[in-house]
Amino acid sequence: MKKSLLLFLGFPFAFLFTLAFAIPRSAIAQDHVVAPSDIQKDLAASSSARQKNETQLENFVSSPEAQRAMKSAHLDAGQVKNAIPNLNDEELADLSARAQKAQEDFAAGKLSDRDLIIILIAIVALILIIVAVR
């Protein structure tokens, strides 16, 4: 009886034991859902976009029109420039797009100096409010 029980349990055990070592580990392991190279590319693109948006917003705030507008509104340009890196990616992209549109409209003659000053003060106020709330 013991021999038959050992044979009955021994063969399946030996088969499973052999099978466990016969299957390559690469077949058992699953691939990552996202390849590390894709993650690296996405991070690089995100970093590049953020840098572009920061530069664009800083250039807008540094323009002579912006300097005059901030001076007339008694705002510190240095404080505004220091606040720009504290914005999150979404806020930075939104404000950068607004600044770019305002510059394009001004260059095309669609906006007057007064309109540009109002838009600039609104953007600067948004930057300062967002940073102050954090």
Phi and psi at residue 23, in whole multiples of 5°? -80, 130
Can you state the angle between helices 36-62 and 89-107, rounded to 10 degrees? 50
Quote the pLDDT of residue 130: 83
H-helix or E-strand spanning residue 56: helix 36-62
The band of 50, judged by pLDDT with boundaries at 50, 70 and 90, is very high
pLDDT tens-digit map of 103-129: 888 777 777 778 878 888 888 888 888
Domain limits for position 110:
50-134
Domains: count for the chain: 1
Q: For residue 131, tell me if it sits in a domain.
A: yes
Q: Give the pLDDT confidence score for residue 27 in this predicted structure.
A: 53
User: Of the spans 9-13, 78-82, 103-107, which averages the highest pLDDT?
Assistant: 78-82
109 located within any domain: yes
Per the domain annotation, does 32 fall within a domain?
no
Tell me whether residue 88 is in a domain: yes
Has residue 79 been placed in a domain? yes
